[in-house]
Amino acid sequence: MKALWVNIDYVASVILFLIGLYAIMAKDNLVKKLMGLNIIETAVFAFVMASGIVDGGDAPILGAGARPPFANPLPQGLILTGIVVALSHTALALSLIIRIYEQYGTIESDDLWGVE
Amino acid sequence: MRRVIALAVLILASVPLMYAVAQLPPIGSVQNPTYTHVVPRYLAEGHEEAGAENIVTAVILNYRGFDTDGEVTVIFTALMSVFAVLLMPRLADKKREEGLPAVPVSPVTYFVVRTLAPFIVMFAIANIAYGHAAPGGGFQGGTIIGALLIATSLVMGSERVGRLLPESIRPWLQPAAVLMFSIVGIAGMFLLGEYLSYPVHGPYVFLRTPFLTLIEIGIALGGAAIVASIFWTMEGSEG
């Protein structure tokens, strides 16, 4: 229990991940499923960012007046990339959902089972 | 029933995840494995080696430049896919007339957005221009401009805002990030022999920060154009 309390930031990411997973599994609406996927992504981003936290660390910007310790720049760079990729696939998924709606008139996945 | 199964799966999934989290090294320690691998070198020499005071910028544009090159290709490909999915079936349709926003906008929203817009643009430009030396950078600044274009489109109608970015120049701005990466990468190839290499010493060392700034500007223009174009394309669809 103490180990979980020390890593409370990671625990928060795990809970966020599970919330997103629930949305993907239990919701019928495709937009809500996509939101669940985005929540999962946010959880992963928060997890990786938390691994880069340094106690009392400054932003990793060198130059006049900067003094260590600095926060870890590597997770920040990776997550910046990850956010852009998340935006890209969200845009693509939304446009596919729009096309599904135009074609079938519904975005409820259980209604979509029957359509041809 | 489905909810019960979903909850059961969640509880099953949470056990190994929580177990793994309990095994991880504590957050915030400088002894963390994430902080002892390549990061000490980035922090110690990144300023000199990569030519940017903001180490995050140094990481994404210099140390991990290929990664970012691929990433701007991903977002450009996403825009092309959105076009392919949404626009192509509609090219046959007659052009829909677009005027004022479909939903009436409250005057308060209209006033606030219009009043704040210049300051938001200033903030975005500062983000882009000082991205190598301060928090911020091309992605952040470009996304701010894109979000501003979306916000003003919502209150003023896409027709008026879209005129800021005429159809004739959009195809040149959307791939700006990819093009700028290629230009800088090929320039590096001619000057130094390898794609996307930055001068560390020698006669071209003065080009290092301009290279980073050029890529930042390209990323910002491309990002803003892509974010706004995705919105405009989706908005034009019925639903």
- Asked if B2's CB is within 8 angstroms of A25's CB, the reply is yes
Cα–Cα distance, B146 to B160 (Å, whole number): 15
Position B90 scores a pLDDT of 66
* Nearest-neighbour CA in chain B from A116: distance (Å): 19
A110 membership: H or E segment, kind and range: helix A109-112
Phi, psi of B28 (to 5 degrees): 95, -5
Residue B219: C-alpha distances to residues B58, B72, B96, B119 (Å): 15, 8, 31, 21
pLDDT digits 0-9 by tens, B87-143: 776 655 544 445 455 567 778 888 888 888 899 999 998 888 887 777 778 888 898
Cα–Cα distance, A94 to B52 (Å, whole number): 37
* Nearest-neighbour CA in chain A from B53: distance (Å): 5
The answer to whether the beta carbons of residues B128 and B136 sit under 8 Å apart is yes
- Asked if B47's CB is within 8 angstroms of A62's CB, the reply is yes
Diameter over CA atoms, chain B: 71
- Asked if A7's CB is within 8 angstroms of B78's CB, the reply is no
Total-model pTM: 0.73
ipTM over 0.85: no
Contacts with B44 (C-beta within 8 Å, 6 or more apart), sequence order? none
B98 membership: H or E segment, kind and range: none
B238 CB neighbours in chain A (<8 A) are: 102
Cα–Cα distance, B177 to B173 (Å, whole number): 8
Place of tokens 């000057």: B191
Position A13 scores a pLDDT of 94
Among candidates B28, B56, B71 on the partner chain, residue whose Cβ is nearest the Cβ of A55? B28
Q: Among candidates B53, B71, B55, which has minimal Cα distance to B63?
A: B55
CA dihedral of B13, B15, B17, B21, whole degrees rounded to 10 = 170
Q: Could you write out the DSSP letters of every residue in A1-55?
A: -HHHHHTHHHHHHHHHHHHHHHHHHH--BHHHHHHHHHHHHHHHHHHHHHHT-BT
Position A65 scores a pLDDT of 75
Position B96 scores a pLDDT of 47
Cα–Cα distance, A40 to A51 (Å, whole number): 17
- Asked if B7's CB is within 8 angstroms of A88's CB, the reply is no
Among candidates B14, B39, B86 on the partner chain, residue whose Cβ is nearest the Cβ of A95? B86
pLDDT < 70 positions in chain B? 89-103, 236-239
Contacts with B66 (C-beta within 8 Å, 6 or more apart), sequence order? B196
* Nearest-neighbour CA in chain B from A28: distance (Å): 11
Start-to-end CA distance of chain B, whole Å, equals 31
The one-character DSSP state at B84 is: I
Paired with A70 in beta bridges are A58
Position B159 scores a pLDDT of 78
A11, two tokens: 């625990």
In terms of Cβ atoms closer than 10 Å to its own Cβ (0-12, 13-18, 19+), residue B179 is middle
Paired with A61 in beta bridges are B54
pLDDT in tens, chain A (116 residues): 777 888 888 999 999 999 999 999 988 899 999 999 999 999 999 999 998 888 888 888 887 777 778 888 888 888 988 998 999 999 999 999 988 888 888 888 888 877 65
